[in-house]
Structure 1
Amino acid sequence: MKIVDVCAFYAPAGGGVKTYIDRKLAYARSAGVEMVVVAPGPASGIEQRGPGARIAWLRSPRFPLDGKYHYFGEGKALHALLDAEAPDVVEASSPWRSPSMVADWSGDAVRSLVMHADPLAAYAYRWFEGFAERPTIDRGFDRYWRHLRRLDGGFDTVISASHSLSRRLEAGGLRRVVTNPMGIDANVFSPALRDDSLRRRLLALCGLEPDAMLLVGVGRHAPEKRWPMVVSAVMAAQYRLPVALVLVGDGRERGRIAREIGTNPHIRMLAPISDRAEMARTIASADALVHGCEAETFCMVAAEARACGVPLIAPAEGGAADHARASGGLTFEPGSAASAAEAIVMLAGQRSPAGRPRAAVDRTRTMEDHFSELFAHYEALRDRRRAGVPAPAFIPQPAAISMAGVA
């Protein structure tokens, strides 16, 4: 099988999408699947990643809002490249313009839209949450929902990494959604990594004794991550119990987060931890992982905390919520510092005699599980197409979320 992934947000200095694509290339090599990633860049060229795996860079304009990215300017060159590659499956890894180009391509490959982003949750809902309810916002952004429904009609499958996102997409009128959660590296994250001496040092850094509650937050300092809201929630909880917060990460919101913290001695910001083993030990040593973003399509750090047996405090929507519910953690109203503070206090009340909140630890889902299921799904679609078998009829499921303005 040959897969071509048209990935508009792959870049040398990229973040989560780059990490995901690099791991997919490595898995494809081990599985004997030929994999080509088509990415926009400053110049056209081929970058080999081993036998049967490569990046095909396509010269494209620079993305005006972030200089490390480029974007596919027009479909002609992309279509010519797809013609030359002749894949069995072509993926589009963005919900924006590039999947429309893939849908318009005249080739006979299976088409898959991979939802690496949830733009409405990341932007529209957050921007207008103080002025309108979500059904009203959805009506205002019905053009985007119509765009997604058109893509749904032009693709054979739409891959979603969380049940939360899948329910919203189906409620929005998409008919080909398949939920395939991602996974983690099971060899790195484990409850056995809990280090009580590290926990005591982190609490001491925050000026608190070992009987206090240690919260850890990990992620980019970006607006959609809502770290100032998390800081406000922790400050509110601190009036009722001794609780420390250690934020690991960096980004353009760092100054705003620092201003929100002010002179509070019980909240500390740490630089990103690049060593995966050290990151795993830090997460495993926390009493809970706190997360503020409801726009995660999967939330890798939540999955890593879950694998470490660490309870989660997360918004009630988005990928992090799936992990919180599955592991016995707590959820709060998205964007609400007061609701998040109540969740912190409630989880603190569940602490065991040893000082650790109770958390459920189940089998760790790995990225190998994710890719194995994904490629098997593609093979089944490819085989049906080759055999001339019509796609199975769509059976509507009861909508878990009301979506106003959907035709």
Structure 2
Amino acid sequence: MKIVDVCAFYAPKGGGVRTYIDRKLAAAPSFGHELTVIAPGPCDRVEQRGPGASIRWIAAPAFPLDRNYRYFGHPVALHDALDAERPDMVEVSSPWRSAATVAGWRGRAPRSLVMHADPLSAYAYRWFEPVASRATIDRHFGWFWRHLRRLDESYAQVVSASGELSRRLRDGGLQNVVTIPMGVDPGIFSPGLRDEGLRASLLADCGLGADGLLLLGVGRLAPEKRWPMIVEAAAAAGSHAPVALLLVGAGRERARIVRQIGGNPHIRLAGPVGDRAALARLMASADALVHGCEAETFCMVAAEAKASGLNLIVPDQGGASDQACGPGDVRFRAGSAADAAAAIVRFALSPPAAALTHRPREMDDHFRELFDSYRAIVAERCAA
């Protein structure tokens, strides 16, 4: 089966979507499929990623809010690329312009929309929930729900990796929603990588001894990730227990986060860790992962932390909350620094044992289910 993934969010310096796509390019041929990713880039070119796997870059303008990304500038170029690839199945990884453009493509291949983004949670709910209920916000953003329902009519399925997001999509009137959770890269993350020497060194860098609590935060420094809220919560919790926070990431919110940290010696902001093995060792050596974003569609970093043997301190909404299903995980009220601080204090004063008791769900488990669903859709279309 020839699969084409139209991915507007794929970029060399991207985050979770890049990790997802890179693994998909490696996995698809092993399942007997050919995969081409169509992505916006600085120029037109084709990049081979091995037998049966490639990226077709389409020249596209830079995204004004984040120069790491680009966006598909003209529908004709995207339609021409789809015509040239002649796919059996088309996947789209964004609910925005690219999804509407692919819906308008005149090709015969069935289409699948994968919700790698939750715009309402990332923007509308985050901005307006302090003053309005979600029902009220949804009414004012009815145009977006109408847009999603139109896409739902054009796509054979809408894939969500989060049960909570799937429920909201169905409640919003979408009929073709399926839930296929993602997973972690195989063979990378493990509790066995824990390094007590590294942990002690990181705590010392934060001005604490080995009896301190080492919290790890990993992700883009973007507004929807709510890192200033996490910094505020960790600082407040530090008044009740020895708490250190190490944030790892890069993004346009860096200056704001630095200001939020101020002169607090127990909170450090480090750059991104591009080496996956180094990240796995860092994760296994922390005491808990803390996360502030309620707009995650799966929360890859939370899944990686669980595979590393960590407990989670996360919001009670979104994909991160889905991951926090262990007895030692702690949820706090989404968007509340005070409740996040209280959760950190509860965890610090009575930390549970961190133990992984089952094999973590791996990304290839997700791809197996996803490709099986595509095979069924294509077979049904051929039979019809």
TM over 0.5: yes
Q: Deviations over 1:328-385 (max 9, x none)?
A: 4011111101111111122224325xxxx44554221111111111111100111111
**SS of equivalent to 1:325:** coil
- Find the counterpart in structure 2 of residue 384 from structure 1: 380
1:126-180 CA deviation, whole Å, 9 max, x = no partner? 1223222222111111111110111011100111111121122112111111111
Tell me what 1:287 maps to: 287
Taking only aligned residues, the RMSD between alpha carbons, in angstroms, comes to: 1.8
**1:375 maps to 2:371:** yes
Q: In structure 2, how many angstroms separate the alpha carbons of the residues matched to 1:381 and 1:344? A: 46
CA 1:286–1:11 in 2, change beyond 3 Å: closer, same or farther? closer
Structure 1 residue 27 displacement after superposition: 1.1
Higher mean displacement: 34-43 or 142-151: 34-43
Q: Which residue of 2 aligns with 1:73?
A: 73
CA contact (8 A) 2:160 2:178 kept: yes
Bigger shift: 78-87 or 238-247?
Answer: 78-87
The one-letter code of the counterpart of 1:24 is K
**Which range is displaced more, 333-342 or 51-60?**
51-60
Q: Is the 8 A contact 2:311 2:326 kept in 1?
A: no
Assess, with a 3 A threshold, how the Cα gap between structure 1 residues 220 and 80 changes in structure 2: closer, same or farther. Answer: closer
| SS of match in other structure, 1:170 | helix
- Counterpart residue number, 1:338: 338
TM-score normalised to the size of structure 1? 0.90
Deviates most, 135-144 or 50-59: 50-59
1:74/1:230 CA distance change after superposition, 3 Å = same
Shift of 1:116: 0.8
SS of residue matched to 1:38: strand
Aligned residue in 2 for 1:325:
325
Q: Note the C-alpha offset of 1:63.
A: 2.9
Give the Å deviation of 1:87.
1.2
Q: 1:43 to 1:269 in 2, by over 3 A?
A: closer
In structure 2, C-alpha distance between the alignment counterparts of 1:359 and 1:142, rounded to whole Å: 44
The match for 2:55 is 55
> CA offsets per residue over residues 33-64 of structure 1, 9 Å max, x none?
11111222333232222222222222334433
Give the SS at the match of 1:363.
coil
Deviation at 1:72, TM superposition (A): 2.3
Which piece of structure 1 moves more, 238-247 or 221-230? Answer: 238-247
Matching of residues 270-285 of structure 1 within 5 Å? 270-285=270-285
Aligned to 1:401: none
The 3 A distance-change label for structure 1 pair 163 and 222 is same
Contact 1:350 1:358 (8 Å CA) reproduced = no
Match of 1:208 in 2: 208
Please tell me whether the aligned partners of residues 90 and 112 of structure 1 are also in contact (alpha carbons under 8 angstroms): yes
Match of 1:393 in 2: none
Query: Residue 84 of structure 2 corresponds to which residue in structure 1?
Result: 84
Greater mean alpha carbon deviation, residues 139-148 or residues 190-199: 190-199
Instruction: Name the CA distance, whole Å, in 1 between partners of 2:373 and 2:230.
Output: 38
Q: 1:215 to 1:109 in 2, by over 3 A?
A: same
Fraction of identical pairs, as percent: 63
Aligned equivalents of 1:13, 1:27: Cα separation in 2 = 21
| 2:186 aligned residue | 186
Correspondence list, 1:6-405, <5 A: 6-326=6-326, 328-351=328-351, 357-359=353-355, 361-388=357-384
Tell me the SS of whatever aligns to 1:293. Answer: coil
AA partner of residue 375 (structure 1) = F
Query: In 2, distance between residues paired with 1:380 and 1:33?
Result: 14
1:327–1:359 contact (8 Å) kept in structure 2: no
1:328 touches 1:359 (CA, 8 Å); kept in 2?
no
**Distance in 2 between the 1:215 and 1:273 partners?**
16
Give the deviation of 1:79 after TM superposition: 2.4
Per-residue deviation, 1:232: 1.0
Separation in structure 2 between the aligned mates of residue 268 and residue 254 of structure 1, nearest angstrom: 12
In structure 1, distance between residues paired with 2:310 and 2:10: 31
Paired residues of 2:4 and 2:35 also in contact (CA < 8 A)? yes
1:3 Cα shift? 0.6
Structure 1 unaligned blocks of 5 or more: 389-407
Cα deviation for residue 67 of structure 1 reads 3.3
Check the 8 A contact 1:126/1:224 in 2, yes or no. yes
CA distance in 2, matches of 1:255, 1:76: 39
Q: Tell me the amino acid that sits aligned with residue 381 of structure 1.
A: I
Structure 1 counterpart of 2:309, which letter? G
Deviation at 1:327, TM superposition (A): 6.1
Code of the residue aligned with 1:368 in structure 2: it is: D
> Are 1:182 and 1:366, in contact at CA under 8 Å, matched by a contact in 2?
yes
Indicate the larger mover: 306-315 or 230-239: 230-239
Q: Residue 379 of structure 1: SS of its match in structure 2?
A: helix
Are 1:227 and 1:292, in contact at CA under 8 Å, matched by a contact in 2?
yes
In 1: Cα distance, 2:11 partner to 2:249 partner: 20
Following TM superposition, by how much is the alpha carbon of 1:190 offset from its aligned partner in structure 2, in angstroms? 0.9
- The whole-number CA distance in structure 2 between the counterparts of 1:288 and 1:359 is 12
